[in-house]
Structure 1
Amino acid sequence: MKHLADLLLLGDPRLYETCEPVLESELSLVAGWVADLHNVMEEIRATYQFGRGIAAPQLGIMKRLIYLNVDRPQVIINPKLVAVSDETDELWDDCMSFPNLLVRVQRHCSLTITYRDEHWEPHTWNIEDWPISELIQHEYDHLNGVLCTMRAIDGQSFRWRPTPVVG
């Protein structure tokens, strides 16, 4: 079982690599990967008070796999971004791989992805909900070796977030 200490941090060269697709023959490995992603996300939530999604490469699993847990757990395998809106918005983005840094970025307000779930069933998801749309874009970027630091609006789009006091 992977833990918070296994999370790749800003500067680790693996975070800048493009991930390989999950193969159908690897489906038996997905449950273990998802358990690791879930465990680390729960540790981030307990430590830093944020975390809605995590991408496999953040744990050194160089596969196109995203785990979300917003209202319910959701596994997204081999997502493809097939459409994005012209309309965009800005936000202060955060990332588990640099939990005390916020980065001002611009993201599309809505999008459509295709993907497979943990049972290898295909899905098309039209996402009109801004918080989910920007989250998917953030995690999708991880699969392509892109961090939100690379999407900063300008050189003044960075700020520290103090670590919350827990307990």
Structure 2
Amino acid sequence: MKHLADLLLLGDPRLYETCEPVLESELPLVASWVADLHTVMEEIRATYQFGRGIAAPQLGIMKRLIYLNIDKPRVIINPELVTVSEETSELWDDCMSFPNLLVRVRRHCQLTLKYHDEHWQQHTWEVTDWGLSELIQHEYDHLNGVLCTMRAIDNQSFRWRPTPTI
């Protein structure tokens, strides 16, 4: 079982690698990978008060796998961005691999995603919600070795996360 201490942090060379597809023969491993992703995401939520999704390479699992948990868990295997909208918007992006740093980036407002679920069923997901669209793009980038630091709008697009007040 992996925990917060297993999370790869900014600078780890594995975060810059392109992940391999999950093979159908590896499906029995997916449940264990997802359990680890869920555990670490819950630990991030408890420690830093954020976290809606995590990509497998953030735990050193170099496979094309994303785990989202917003209103319910969603396992996304071998995602493919089919289309993205021309319309974009800016946001201060955060990342579990550097939880105290925010990066100003530009993301597409809508997208279409094809993927397999944990039962190897194929889905096409039309994402029109801006918050979900930017999250999927962030996690998808992880699968290609791209961090939001690499998408910063300019060299002044970095700031520290404000400390939560209790």
TM-score category (smaller protein): over 0.9
When residues 142 and 17 of structure 1 are mapped into structure 2, their CA distance, relative to the original with a 3 A threshold, is same
Cα pair 1:48 1:163 within 8 Å, conserved: no
1:69 equivalent in structure 2 = 69
Equivalent position amino acid for 2:33 in 1: W
Task: Give CA deviations for 1:25-47 in whole Å, capped at 9, x if unaligned.
Answer: 00000000000000000000000
Deviating above 3 A after TM superposition, structure 1's stretches of 4 or more consecutive aligned residues are: 162-166
2:39 equivalent in structure 1 = 39
1:117 equivalent in structure 2 = 117
Q: Distance in 1 between matches of 2:165 and 2:32?
A: 31
Q: How does 1:21-100 map to 2 (within 5 A)?
A: 21-100=21-100
Return the offset for 1:4: 0.2
2:103 equivalent in structure 1 = 103
Return the offset for 1:97: 0.1
Return the offset for 1:95: 0.1
Equivalent position amino acid for 1:120 in 2: W
Equivalent position amino acid for 2:52 in 1: R
Q: CA RMSD in A?
A: 0.9
Q: Distance in 1 between matches of 2:9 and 2:163?
A: 16
* Unaligned runs of at least 5 residues, structure 2: none
- Aligned-residue sequence identity (percent) comes to 85
Equivalent position amino acid for 1:76 in 2: I
Q: Distance in 1 between matches of 2:22 and 2:161?
A: 34
Q: Distance in 1 between matches of 2:96 and 2:154?
A: 21
Return the offset for 1:164: 3.4
Q: TM-score, normalised by structure 2?
A: 0.98
* Unaligned runs of at least 5 residues, structure 1: none
Task: Give CA deviations for 1:30-75 in whole Å, capped at 9, x if unaligned.
Answer: 0000000000000000000000000000000000000000110000
Return the offset for 1:163: 4.3
Equivalent position amino acid for 1:88 in 2: T
Q: Distance in 2 between matches of 1:4 and 1:46?
A: 11
